[in-house]
Amino acid sequence: MFSLFKSDPSKKLKKEYAAKLEQAMLAQRNGDIKSYSFLTEEAEAIYKQITALEAEQSK
């Protein structure tokens, strides 16, 4: 009954993931490959957290 009022932690992570990917895309367009690779690595770490949360919730 009270699960209706709980926030979804994966929703916040998905927004962060999308923002990191967008930042990486803009860095790549500007020719800043070093920043692009750094931001992509951060996005992959966030994606791993998302998949871990979703696997935990599906149990």
**For position 6, what pLDDT does the model report?**
73
Q: Decide: pTM greater than 0.85.
A: no
**For position 9, what pLDDT does the model report?**
83
- Tell whether 1 is covered by a domain: no
| CA 43, chain centre distance (Å) | 5
| Whether residue 10 has pLDDT greater than 90 | no
Mean pLDDT for 9-16 is: 92
Q: Kindly state the greatest CA–CA separation across the chain.
A: 51
CB 27 within 8 A of CB 35: yes
Model confidence band, residue 2 (pLDDT cutoffs 50, 70, 90)? low
**For position 34, what pLDDT does the model report?**
97
Mean pLDDT for 28-35 is: 97
The residue segments making up the domain with residue 24 are: 7-58
- Tell whether 22 is covered by a domain: yes
Number of domains composing the chain:
1
DSSP state at residue 7: -
CB 24 within 8 A of CB 36: yes
